[in-house]
Amino acid sequence: MIALVTGGSGAVGSAICGALAGRGAHVVVGYLRGAEAAERVAAELRAAGRDAAALGFDVADPAACDRAVRAVVERHGALHAVVNAAGCTADGLLNDLQPEAVQKVLSVNVAGALNVVRAALPHLMACGRGRVVNVSSVLGSRGTQGTSAYASSKGALDALTRALAVELGPRRITVNAVAAGFVNGGMGRTPVARMGAALRRLVPAGRPGTPAEVGAVVAFLASEDADYVSGAVVPVDGGMLACAVARAGGARDE
Amino acid sequence: MSEIEVRETVRKLVAETLGLAVERATPEAKLMIELGAESIDLLDLRFRLERSFGFGISNEDLARTFGDGVTEEAFRAALTVEALGSYVVMRLEAAVHA
């Protein structure tokens, strides 16, 4: 399997690359700014005996996505799976948010995913069992203050996941998402630190997740084993989305 | 595979791609005009034909066969299940003689 992972240089993205390689995939590590990190991820995978390469391009630029997919297919001869892990955020209360920052979050997190899938579509169809996995968030379906831009982008990504699952299902392409909860790595590090001990009240598992735990579910959804799973937004959140009422704080939390 | 089997496989693939009962993919049915095929369906169908019959189909190839120098409208009218079957039969014969 040949897989393209956008945002592959980040903490969660690189864990996804590792998990895909663990299932035997050749991985193209997409990045925008993290060239060094992406090269490092690719080098580690190669050291583990996988064909891997880093590829820099901006998912918000449709022409760049076309070129990137062409480069992947020229190198590997096919493209079976796309993982949209590229993402950015603009946190802040509504009146502090700059319109440009909101636009950028939507351009990368939502339009970026569409751009990459559109560019990859003929190849995903050609391989006979294409896979798209979007890295979403619990904030796609639950609200919290100061995250309106990011949350709307992830809600849109969830909707995109379902719409494309329906549209591409007859082409034997599955489209799924993972809804990551508090993950201790990359973008999640700050929220995890901010929550501190209170995280235990919101997350039944009582701890933040790891990038590898997100990667494992993404790699499963990208695998042949998940051929009958499509349109799903799978929580990888320690049970957070299942929780109706946060647990009361106790002495342990303080 | 005999010619009849090839044509039957093409019919089946057309029906499968378009989500139709195989009976609707009659030999004279026009894929785009009557069976509702869109460009993405043709692309999908092309990949299925390639996988089933083991040869590559290029855009130039299709244009030469169905639409060289003809209008989009003429191409849509020419693209029947039977014509597609004939194209595959021709490609398979060419491969034997190559």
pLDDT for residue A249 is more than 80: no
Mark yes or no for CB contact A125/B47 under 8 Å: yes
- The tally of domains found in chain A comes to 1
Rounded mean pLDDT of A100-110? 98
pLDDT for residue B67 is more than 80: no
In chain A, % of residues over pLDDT 70:
98
- Measured between CA atoms, the residue of chain A closest to residue B20 is A170
Write a three-state SS string for B54-98: CCCCCHHHHHHHHHCCCCHHHHHHHCEHHHHHHHHHHHHHHHHHC
pLDDT for residue A254 is more than 50: no
What pLDDT is stored for residue B84 in this prediction?
93
What pLDDT is stored for residue A252 in this prediction?
54
pLDDT for residue B97 is more than 80: yes
Residue ranges making up the domain that contains A139: 2-253
- Burial class, A104, CB count within 10 angstroms (exposed 0-12 / middle 13-18 / buried 19+): middle
Q: Which residues of A touch B19 (CB under 8 A)?
A: 170
pLDDT for residue B60 is more than 80: no
Q: How many CB pairs under 8 A join A and B?
A: 14
CATH number for the domain including A46? 3.40.50.720
Give chain B's domains with CATH numbers.
Answer: 3-97 (1.10.1200.10)
Structure tokens at A143: 């609200």
Which of A28-32, A247-251, B13-17, B21-25 shows the lowest per-residue confidence on average (mean pLDDT)?
Answer: A247-251
Which of A7-16, A62-71, B63-72 shows the lowest per-residue confidence on average (mean pLDDT)?
Answer: B63-72
Q: Can you give the pTM of this predicted structure? A: 0.89
Q: Which residues of A touch B57 (CB under 8 A)?
A: none
Reported as a single tens digit per residue, the pLDDT across A75-92 is: 999 999 999 999 999 999
